[in-house]
Amino acid sequence: MNADLDMFIYTASHDLKAPISNLEGLLQALLEELPAEVRQAPPVQPMLERMQRSVDRFKLTIAQLTDVSRLQQAQSQPTETVELAALVDDICLDLAPALADSGTQLTVDVDACPRVSFAPKNLRSIVYNLLSNAVKYRHPDRPPLVHLRCHSTARTIVLEVQDNGLGLTTSQQGKLFGMFRRLHDHVEGSGIGLYMVKRIVENAGGTIAVHSAPGIGSTFTVTLPAPSGASLSRPSKLLNPRLISCLHRYRTMKKLSTVLLVDDDETSNFLSERLLTNMGVAEQVLCAANGEEALEVLAQHGTVFSPTNPALVLLDLNMPVMDGIEFLDAYQALPLVKQQAAVIVVLSSSMHPYDLNCVQTSSITDVVSKPLTKEKISNLLQQNFPWACREAMQSSSNY
């Protein structure tokens, strides 16, 4: 059942994110094409701002939906030794505007648990959700007080977040950790945060409980297993062997010879091609609607030593006829001299673990979320084609 739910969420989030990414890209393109006086005109500016806010809300909902499915992989997240005080400080920086605006007095006492053995991202999600909820659901008639405490036993580490906020009835407490449950409608939210916290905690072998009274406040208690052995570290990233063998032919270029976009979404290709062209990244940008067309395009440009051979392939994963994974398999089966592209970067709408797991053993250089932006392209160039990055940055400064 969990696997079916995970696949449904993956499919839904991917299919929803692609068009909203395109809409955001088209909105940005429209802003760049409109004269300043038109953009700032009274009827136009408010409408453009509302459009952007709508896009942002849609993106947030999709991101939260994707987060649900990512919990399926929470148990496989690498455990590390986390400095709890430093993690809390980092979270407080993110929450600083909300803490200041609400006048919240936050006290932190985690000296009894200086280090916690846990997946850092998961532990951050737990603490962030509990603290941000304590601020959001404050009582309107008194200054908000929030206490974060930690203590440990031989077998457990216990985190507590206590507030003097609105509080919850017994009935509300029974519904609190359900997916998409929202018990208060006066603040924005998706009703997914505490569901995620509960799943993360339980996947780690822990428990979460709440004690609350209406009009008095709530205390959330998270109990986690104590450290049991050395922490794990992330595997180091392997350098693409094709990149090593092909870099020499680009050293004298100011821009890339060719970039190949492989995506069945015409709007996505239009926006990516427009951005790459305006930034002056390559002499030409080619498009292919699927993996099979991409192989044909590559075959037309000879071998790795061809001057018009694509230096960079930006590859979507979900396509008809031949998808991105099938393309990578077919590409890697070619003789080395026929594997023309020095750098292959996967473009993912969802950044879902299913996509990431599919490509982790492939000889790709990176995985980048859609839509492409100037910053993402600049980072790719800086990492893989620094000599082309300078030219692109100069071009984009006028764009």
Q: Does residue 239 carry a pLDDT above 50?
A: no
Q: Judging by DSSP bridges, how do beta strands 115-118 and 80-83 pair with one another?
A: antiparallel
- Which pLDDT band, with edges at 50, 70 and 90, does 251 fall under? very low
Distance between CA atoms of residues 232 and 152, nearest Å? 22
Which pLDDT score is estimated for 258? 87
By three-state DSSP, how is residue 181 classified? coil
CA distances from 366 to 280, 281, 340, 380 (A): 21, 18, 17, 9
Q: Quick: pLDDT tens for 57-107.
A: 777 777 666 666 555 555 556 788 899 999 999 888 888 888 888 899 999
Query: What is the DSSP-derived secondary structure letter of residue 74?
Result: G
- Which pLDDT band, with edges at 50, 70 and 90, does 241 fall under? very low
Q: Does residue 252 carry a pLDDT above 60?
A: no
Among 47-56, 167-176, 187-196, 283-292, which is the least confidently predicted range? 187-196
The single residue listed with the structure tokens 């063998």 is 245
- The CA-based dihedral angle spanning residues 314, 316, 321, 326, taken in that order and rounded to the nearest 10 degrees: 80
Out of 232-236, 287-291, 315-319, give the one with best mean pLDDT: 287-291
- Which pLDDT band, with edges at 50, 70 and 90, does 144 fall under? very high
DSSP per-residue letters across 205-235: T-EEEEEEETTTEEEEEEEEEPP-SPPP-PP
Distance between CA atoms of residues 4 and 316, nearest Å? 23
pTM exceeds 0.75: no
Distance between CA atoms of residues 21 and 16, nearest Å? 9
Which pLDDT score is estimated for 230? 35
Distance between CA atoms of residues 62 and 43, nearest Å? 30
Residue 147's contacts (CB-CB under 8 Å, 6 or more residues apart) are 106, 107, 109, 160, 161, 162, 163
Among 62-76, 179-193, 200-214, which is the least confidently predicted range? 179-193
Query: What is the DSSP-derived secondary structure letter of residue 261?
Result: E
* Of residues 230 and 376, more confidently modeled: 376
List the structure tokens of 339. Answer: 């594997």
Which pLDDT score is estimated for 351? 56
Which pLDDT score is estimated for 229? 43
Q: Does residue 1 carry a pLDDT above 50?
A: no
| Alpha helices (H) along 111-175 | 120-136, 170-175
Distance between CA atoms of residues 390 and 378, nearest Å? 9
Among 22-36, 60-74, 335-349, 372-386, which is the least confidently predicted range? 60-74
Out of 102-116, 216-230, 245-259, 293-307, give the one with best mean pLDDT: 102-116
Q: Where are the domains of the chain?
A: 2-75, 79-225, 241-396
* Of residues 96 and 305, more confidently modeled: 96
Q: Does residue 287 carry a pLDDT above 80?
A: yes
* Of residues 259 and 301, more confidently modeled: 259
Which pLDDT score is estimated for 360? 59
**What average pLDDT does the chain have?**
77
Which pLDDT score is estimated for 378? 87
Q: Does domain 241-396 have CATH number 3.40.50.2300?
A: yes
Among 99-103, 126-130, 232-236, 360-364, which is the least confidently predicted range? 232-236
- Which pLDDT band, with edges at 50, 70 and 90, does 366 fall under? confident
The CATH number, out of the four listed (1.10.3720.10, 3.30.390.10, 3.30.565.10, 3.90.1150.10), of the domain defined by the range 79-225: 3.30.565.10
Strand partners of residue 316: 347
Residue 345's φ and ψ, nearest 5 degrees, are -120, 130
